[in-house]
Amino acid sequence: MNNNPILVNALRFLGLLMLQVLVLNEIELHGFVNPYIYPLFILLLPFETPHWLQLLLAFFLGLMVDIYANTIGFHAAATVAMAYIRPFLMQMFRPSGGYDNKEHPVMFTMGINWTIFYVSSAVLLHHVILFSIESWSIVNIPETLIKIVIGVILSVFIMMLYQFILVPKQ
Amino acid sequence: MRNLLLFLKRYNSFFVFLFLEILCAFLIVKYNHYQRTQFLSSSGVLTAGVLNVKNGVTNYFSLKQQNEILAEQNAALLEQIINSKKDIPKQEMLFIPEPEIVTRKKYEFIPAKIIDKSTHKLHNFLTINRGSDDGIYPQMGVVGPRSIAGIVHKVSKNYATVMSVLHKETHISAKIKKNNHFGSLTWDGQNQFIVQLNDVPNNVPVQKGDSIITSGFSDFFPEDILIGKVEAVSRLPGSNFHSIEVELATVFRNLSQVYVIKFNDYQEIIDLENATINE
């Protein structure tokens, strides 16, 4: 994160949104699940970001994805819920030394174990809400559960890959 | 009052969260549950431009496959032309029909390109690059090179959204080719290659491999367009109807070129029916 955090995050917002809409939404494995990478934007926001701002950003990011996917509200609801629990997750996975003098919850500063726990629990909540809204009934629960599990594995994998490749190492 | 303000300040993020989630719930119900996609949908101005550019690029990837499908269709059409010429006896060819009859076509096909689609949801839509300017209106049938694709849902100036066959609310009138028994075609939302044919009574003989075609009873599709082949037939205990699984001839994942069917008598029939009802 070399320069202005606002600029970096604005670019990441656009970049992840376009990556999601133009590339990942085209991947329909067996017509079954899509991997999602855009929630990573919320997960990578600096520690000091005000919580209400995180929620608003989550809402707009989700809504943008919704507009392109013709599913108004689905992604927005899931992403807002994920942004809401983000501080609680950080509290839960708090390392023994706390988050002293660390600015960004990225893999480079936090280590791979912490990042995997943090990312996958957030993505799990996101996918549970997203797929529950999408199925909109209690009839096909087993199918929804399978979708959630496979979706979480794929999305977390892609998010970790993104952090390995594209998040600069200071 | 002061305590209330302090309380609000203390839990401000919770209230922002609550407000946004209620807003989302409102949006979901308004725009999805009843499929009212008129606003912010992909026929909207905001997204159609971007999707069009994206389509300009991704089109090239499937050109070869699309060519093969179109060539296949051309071959089938040529075959039909040649065969139909042979059928007409010579003396009848001498009779010149009135120009009115020749020029009046019952159905017209408007070619369109799919610029966006989904196949993995419960309610799938296609977006095509033809709109009201090209004479598209809601409720027109849409066919792909191999078989039916859907029904036009919403129309903007240059684009239209199509309710795909893979949409839980789509009902299409269909029949079994060999014995002309009618049924209603729906999709259960599970497998994008399989749809269900309902309302066919138990005493009608149905076998795996039978062709299913459109019935021509609805105003969307002309008669005798292929839908697919029977994949499995089973009988539910206590039911008087077959449970028939139909494998679609259209493969939605690589569908890119479609034709919108313009039924020239549509308005006339609708007016007549309305006049009958209002009588």
Q: What is the pLDDT of residues B213-233, one digit of tens each?
A: 988 887 788 888 889 999 988
- Go through chain B and tell me how many residues it has: 279
pLDDT by 10s per residue, chain B, length 279: 777 777 777 778 888 888 888 888 888 777 764 434 444 454 555 666 777 777 777 777 778 777 778 877 777 776 676 666 555 555 555 555 544 444 556 777 888 888 888 887 878 888 988 888 888 988 888 988 888 899 998 888 888 999 999 888 888 889 998 888 888 998 888 888 899 998 888 888 888 889 999 888 877 888 888 899 999 888 877 788 888 999 998 888 888 888 888 888 888 888 888 888 887
pLDDT computed for residue A156 by the predictor? 92
Contact flag B17-A71 (C-beta cutoff 8 Å): no
> DSSP secondary structure string, A14-46?
HHHHHIIIIIGGG--BTTTB----TTHHHHTS-
pLDDT computed for residue A168 by the predictor? 64
pLDDT computed for residue A136 by the predictor? 67
- Give the chain A residue nearest B44 (alpha carbons): A67
Boundaries of every domain in chain B: 2-33, 50-279
Angle between helices A74-92 and A51-69 (to 10 degrees): 150
pTM beyond cutoff 0.90: no
The CA distances from residue B116 to B45, B54, B190, in Å, are: 14, 9, 21
Roughly how many angstroms between the first and final C-alpha of chain B, as a whole number? 64
pLDDT computed for residue B43 by the predictor? 53
Contact flag A72-B40 (C-beta cutoff 8 Å): yes
Cα–Cα–Cα angle for B140, B145, B151, rounded to 5 degrees? 20
Distance to chain B for A170, nearest Cα, Å: 31
Into which CATH architecture does domain B50-279 fall?
Beta Barrel (2.40)
Task: Report the C-alpha gap between B154 and B36 in whole angstroms.
Answer: 9
Q: pLDDT averaged over consecutive 10-residue blocks of chain A (170 residues)?
A: 76 89 75 82 87 91 87 89 90 77 76 88 92 74 86 90 75
Q: b or e along A28-57 (b: 16 or more beta carbons within 10 Å of the residue's beta carbon)?
A: beebebbbbbbbbbbbbbeeebebbebbeb
Residues in B 190-229 with any Cβ partner in A closer than 8 A: 190-192
Task: Report the C-alpha gap between B128 and B155 in whole angstroms.
Answer: 10
Distance to chain A for B188, nearest Cα, Å: 11
pLDDT computed for residue A62 by the predictor? 92
Tokens describing residue A145 = 């559960």
Contact flag B40-A71 (C-beta cutoff 8 Å): no
Residues in B 125-164 with any Cβ partner in A closer than 8 A: 125, 161
| Residue A155 belongs to domain spanning | 5-166
- Go through chain A and tell me how many residues it has: 170
A vs B: CB pairs below 8 A: 90
- Give the single-character DSSP code of B201: B
Contacts of A143 in chain B (CB under 8 A): 190
Task: Report the C-alpha gap between B27 and A58 in whole angstroms.
Answer: 15
CB atoms within 10 A of CB A125: 19
Please count the structural domains in chain A.
1
Say which residue the tokens 């401000």 belong to: B12
| B175 alpha carbon, distance to own chain's centre | 17
Task: Report the C-alpha gap between B60 and A5 in whole angstroms.
Answer: 38
Choose among A79, A166, A91: nearest CA to A123: A79
Contact B185, B226 (CB under 8 A): no
Interface check for B21 against chain A (CB to CB < 8 A): the answer is: yes
In the chain, the amino acid numbered A160 is M
Contact flag B27-A76 (C-beta cutoff 8 Å): yes
Q: Give alpha helix (H) positions in chain B.
A: 2-10, 12-28, 45-58, 63-87, 90-94, 99-103, 266-278
Tokens describing residue A3 = 């320069």
